[in-house]
Structure 1
Amino acid sequence: MIYIFDENAGDDVLVLKGELFKYIIKVRRHSEGDMIAFRDEDNIKILHTYKLDSIEPKKAVLSLQDSKELEVKAKKDLHIGWCKIDSKSIEKVLPSLSEIGVNKITFIDCKRSQRNIKLDFKRFDRILHASMQQCGSTQKIEFELCDSLEKFLKQYPNAKVFDFVEKTLDEVENISTVIIGCEGGFSSDEKELLSSQEVFRLDTPMVLRSESAVMAVASKVLL
């Protein structure tokens, strides 16, 4: 755990109780004198360092030692236009996408998307909340919805497209927004719609699942 979210981070004194107390003392086994980093989610760029002064049976008291601006994020932005897939599959890769440094995901209703899927952005945020504390990132992925590829392209006309073509990712420059299809790929109508965009593939003979493609493309672009 690189840092811990607490809405009171920045106060001269922090008093930890309940689940956070159990986590810090019982799980992480911190002891008096340890230095622990905290951030307030509403002012996430500031890193606050506290000293653990005392431990009582049901609470711990910490004193502020230092506060400084320390932003931790990828060197460049990557926005993924992701044709909607099952939410459980999305949830499995969200922590890794956060660690890699993806800054935005737009979920698109495509022809082969499962239309009955409802995405719980509050749950996604909780998953990211835990991931960010573990990897140290100060950039939370932004989520949005779009009900068609056509509307997405109108909003993001310079988007590149991942599909199975001749050109590989190594031949594509300046990727800031990329569209990745759902299971089954793009329909013929969607391929026609995307024909004017720059399209690339990964240099592998294997067929990737949608979530595998998202992970692979994000890794190649950002890392």
Structure 2
Amino acid sequence: MDLIYILSDEASKNSFVVKGELHKYLVKVRRHALGDRLDFRNPNEMKTLYAYEIVELDAKRVVLSLISSKEKEVKAKKSLHLAWCVIDAKSIEKVLPSLSEIGVEKISFISCERSQKNFKLDFARFKRIQEASVQQSGRSSFIEFDRYKSIKEFIGEFPDTKVFDFCEKTLTETSDFKRVLVGCEGGFSKNEREFLKTQDSFRLDTPMVIRSESAVVAVASKIIL
């Protein structure tokens, strides 16, 4: 599959020079030549798509000249805000590219009663992990992240939240949820379930127990795609 665009802090300039690993990738891997057109986005302002032409090329550098720029937003047709009880950051990182490609707009991480307290979340790292994903999928934004101290705090701010849990109601292709809460490994505690009993709940149509990170990908796919 062709590379949809390339991220660069230099994008928006009338011209700039590419060296190092990106030069190697463009010339030796992608085999771009003089006169080829490449699309770029600036990670600090993702909505604008910049088209550049290769005007000079040698063994060490590629010189690019701006051809055009236009605002071109690429996002999912549906908006999903995922409320995710905190799990191991390594498990989160494994599925972030998939969640980005599916089109999840925002993830709020929640410290619930069964979340281990030593898990550290590095939002800057999460953003870097998404870079290859957004370039290849064409998405024009990164997932937005924030954090809440408890489920009660989150539901207090977003009372329309639906809850993924064990119940009779199953999630279908026609379900149009804007905001979904998914628990951590082991699910919700007794106190949390008592608090959440007034929220609309749903489950996936499977007899198997699935991990938290598998659940968020499955739920997001069912709702957005």
CA RMSD of aligned residues (A): 1.4
User: C-alpha separation between the residues in 2 aligned to 1:148 and 1:55?
Assistant: 54
Tell me if 1:35 matches 2:37.
Answer: yes
| Corresponding residue for residue 191 of structure 2 | 189
| Corresponding residue for residue 25 of structure 2 | 23
| Corresponding residue for residue 203 of structure 1 | 205
* Cα offset, 1:27, TM superposition: 2.7
Question: SS where residue 118 of structure 1 aligns?
Answer: coil
Question: SS where residue 44 of structure 2 aligns?
Answer: helix
| Corresponding residue for residue 139 of structure 1 | 141
User: C-alpha separation between the residues in 1 aligned to 2:20 and 2:163?
Assistant: 47
1:172-210: CA deviation from partner (whole Å, max 9, x where unpaired):
743111000011001111100100000000111111110
1:6-39: CA deviation from partner (whole Å, max 9, x where unpaired):
1221222221122222222233221112111101
| Corresponding residue for residue 118 of structure 1 | 120
> 4+ runs of 1 displaced by more than 6 Å?
none
Question: SS where residue 102 of structure 1 aligns?
Answer: coil
Seen in structure 2, the aligned counterparts of structure 1 residues 172 and 54 have a Cα distance that, compared at 3 Å, is closer
User: C-alpha separation between the residues in 1 aligned to 2:149 and 2:155?
Assistant: 11
Aligned equivalent of 2:4, options 2, 6, 27? 2
Question: SS where residue 62 of structure 1 aligns?
Answer: strand
Unaligned runs of 5+ in 1: none
Question: SS where residue 81 of structure 1 aligns?
Answer: strand
8 Å CA contact retained: 1:5, 1:40: yes
Question: SS where residue 120 of structure 2 aligns?
Answer: coil
Question: SS where residue 129 of structure 1 aligns?
Answer: helix
Report the TM-score when normalising by structure 2. Answer: 0.95
Tell me if 1:75 matches 2:77.
Answer: yes
Identity %: 57
| Corresponding residue for residue 181 of structure 2 | 179
Q: How many residues align?
A: 223
User: C-alpha separation between the residues in 2 aligned to 1:20 and 1:222?
Assistant: 33
8 Å CA contact retained: 1:3, 1:36: yes
Seen in structure 2, the aligned counterparts of structure 1 residues 151 and 102 have a Cα distance that, compared at 3 Å, is same
* Cα offset, 1:59, TM superposition: 1.0
Residue type at the aligned position of 2:11: A
Residue type at the aligned position of 1:130: A
| Corresponding residue for residue 99 of structure 1 | 101
